[in-house]
Amino acid sequence: MNLPSDRKEITKLQELTYELRVEDAMTRTVFTVGPDASMADFREVLRANRISGTPVMENGAMIGIVTIENLIKSLAAGELQVTVRERMHPKPITLFADEPLVHAVARFSEHRYGRFPVINRQGQLVGIVTQGDIVRSMLKHLEVSYRAEEIHRYRASHIFEDIIADEMALVLGYRVRPRDFSRAGEASSGLKRTLSRLGIPPAIIRRVAVATYEAEINIVVYSTDGGEIVAEVRRDRIKIEAMDRGPGIPDIAQAMQPGWSTAPDWVREMGFGAGMGLPNIQTCADVMKLDSTVGVGTHLTIIINLSKEDRAQPSR
Amino acid sequence: MKLNEVLQIIEGKVISTVADLEAEVTSGGGADLMSDVLVFAQEGMLLMTGLTNPQVVRTAEMAGTAAIVFVRGKIPPPETIALATQKGIPLLASQFTMFETCGRLYQAGLPALDLFELTIQQWHDAFEGRG
């Protein structure tokens, strides 16, 4: 269990417990008993349904939980005719259906109960969850997400092989909204993920990601109406174009100088606007071209070449 | 250096909801300027910063940063933690200053980043290129 690949899976499992909700794991069909049933009746419910505990319901409300442990104690004492009401745990600990699954995991390690009733925010019983339910749902989702990413990767990395043409290019377009810093980076993040699925080597992806992110930040910060980022992926190179409509750069040579910036304070407070963006793009790029007309817009072209060894390797 | 060891050295806390403490960091660097991070960052580095907005996580994602330490006892807002969880980047907190946090790690053997091409160029132009 010390292999790095195992560790990754463990982290993925932890992640899943945050992504999934209790309702994704719970059993929706809940067997219940009434408080006036005898423990002998309760034993029949357990036996017939192959379960180990049920909520106790009275007039549509859950008033307790009764489990196989209560039954064993009753059996040992020879008291099978006593009512469930006398043996149940009143006020059971419940989970909300919309809570993250990690809360259920925490409850199970905190109390050593075998199951928790699940209620909705109106307090109605909607399910029941055991540790077995959690494991099953996690395995199912893990398999689904693993297979989904594998399929994406497999399909995408074969695109260059499957298409028959002397020349081919994959064009990816992303829109960038102006002055919305909370979403700045989404375009670059999407491109980065796509290139990874295409089987582009990590070192190349990193250069593309950093250069594109710098360009994206520039559009967010400076453009009047936002802009777009278009990446063209070919076997031999990746070309990224970042285009916006205004206001344009009056002096390109000056803008290219490390440290030169016209960024307003709100941008500097975010940790950007140090005048390193364009020089950094140039360092990441094999070719960089910057065209700008004041009042019209800016068009930045970045080319990153893939050497023969770098070219997309199908994953299988 | 493993994140476990980093935590001990800086007497820190884990603040992201998901963190693989067995993960390795290969080098360390400190900056509050994300523009600079994008220039000098290296794959697998540990980033020390006093800035807590979500763009720190974005920057880390693009630059291939392995984990982030927030210095001076700063705790990032929920949106930063949420983005880090989504991107699988561990977040740690240190109550010490940037200088002390970095100093402790450097002393314990976490290497600094290599000089970046752009830095070397600027240094050369400023001091050595003038003949």
**Any A CB within 8 A of B4 CB:** no
A202 CB neighbours in chain B (<8 A) are: 43, 64
> What's the pTM?
0.66
Look at residue B15 and tell me whether its pLDDT is greater than 70. yes
Q: Once rounded to an integer, what is the mean pLDDT over residues A110-133? A: 90
Class of domain A158-305: alpha beta
Look at residue A10 and tell me whether its pLDDT is greater than 60. no
Residue A11: what pLDDT?
Answer: 60
Closest CB to A274 among B17, B35, B41: B35
Closest CB to B117 among A192, A271, A283: A283
Q: Once rounded to an integer, what is the mean pLDDT over residues A109-128? A: 89
Closest CB to A258 among B37, B59, B122: B122
Residue A172: what pLDDT?
Answer: 94
Domain holding B83: CATH number? 3.40.1390.20
Residue A7: what pLDDT?
Answer: 45
Report the mean per-residue pLDDT for chain B.
91
Look at residue A316 and tell me whether its pLDDT is greater than 50. no
Residue A10 CB contacts under 8 Å (≥ 6 apart), including other chains? B20
Number of domains, chain B = 1
**Any B CB within 8 A of A266 CB:** no
Residue A153: what pLDDT?
Answer: 76
User: Residue A166: which pLDDT band, with cuts at 50, 70 and 90?
Assistant: confident
Range of the domain at B120: 3-128
Residue A12: what pLDDT?
Answer: 66
User: Residue A315: which pLDDT band, with cuts at 50, 70 and 90?
Assistant: very low
Contact B59 A271 (CB under 8 A): yes
Q: pLDDT, tens digit, for every residue of A250-259?
A: 999 999 998 8
Cβ contacts below 8 Å, chain A against chain B, sum to 98
Dihedrals phi, psi of B40, to nearest 5 degrees: -100, -10
Distance CA A225, CA A229 (A): 14
**Which residue of A lies nearest to B122 if distances are taken between CA atoms?**
A258
Look at residue A55 and tell me whether its pLDDT is greater than 70. yes
Count of beta carbons in the 10 Å neighbourhood of residue A167: 7
User: Residue A160: which pLDDT band, with cuts at 50, 70 and 90?
Assistant: confident
Q: What percent of chain B has pLDDT over 70?
A: 97
Q: Which of A187, A196, A173 is nearest to A217 (CA)?
A: A187
Strands of chain B, DSSP E:
13-14, 27-30, 45-49, 67-70, 91-93
How, if at all, do strands B91-93 and B13-14 pair?
antiparallel
**Which residue of B lies nearest to A18 if distances are taken between CA atoms?**
B17
Residue A143: what pLDDT?
Answer: 78
Residue B112: what pLDDT?
Answer: 92
CA distance B113 to chain A (A): 16
Lowest mean pLDDT segment, chosen from A134-138, A164-168, A197-201, B61-65: A164-168
Q: Once rounded to an integer, what is the mean pLDDT over residues B31-58? A: 93
Contact A182 B56 (CB under 8 A): no
Dihedrals phi, psi of A281, to nearest 5 degrees: -60, -45
Tally the C-alpha atoms within 13 A of residue B56's C-alpha that lie toward its C-beta.
Answer: 30
Residue B130: what pLDDT?
Answer: 59
B116 CB neighbours in chain A (<8 A) are: 283
Q: pLDDT, tens digit, for every residue of A106-116?
A: 888 888 888 99
**Any A CB within 8 A of B98 CB:** no
Look at residue A6 and tell me whether its pLDDT is greater than 50. no
Q: pLDDT, tens digit, for every residue of A183-230?
A: 899 999 999 999 988 889 888 999 999 999 999 999 999 999 999 999
Report the mean per-residue pLDDT for chain A.
87
Evaluate whether ipTM surpasses 0.90.
Answer: no
Residue extents of the structural domains in chain A:
4-136, 158-305
Same CATH fold assignment for domains A4-136 and A158-305 = no
Residue B116: what pLDDT?
Answer: 72
Closest CB to A18 among B59, B85, B118: B85
**Any B CB within 8 A of A206 CB:** yes
Look at residue A93 and tell me whether its pLDDT is greater than 80. yes
DSSP 8-state symbol, B34: H
CB of A297 within 8 A of CB of A245? yes
Distance CA B5, CA B18 (A): 17
What are the distances in angstroms from CA B128 to CA A88, B39, B122, B123, B131? 84, 22, 10, 7, 6
**CATH dotted code for A4-136:** 3.10.580.10
Distance CA A22, CA A103 (A): 8
Q: What percent of chain A has pLDDT over 70?
A: 94
Residue A276 CB contacts under 8 Å (≥ 6 apart), including other chains? A258, A259, B35, B36, B38, B39, B118
CB of A199 within 8 A of CB of A157? yes
Residue with tokens 């990746």: A238
A277 CB neighbours in chain B (<8 A) are: 35, 38
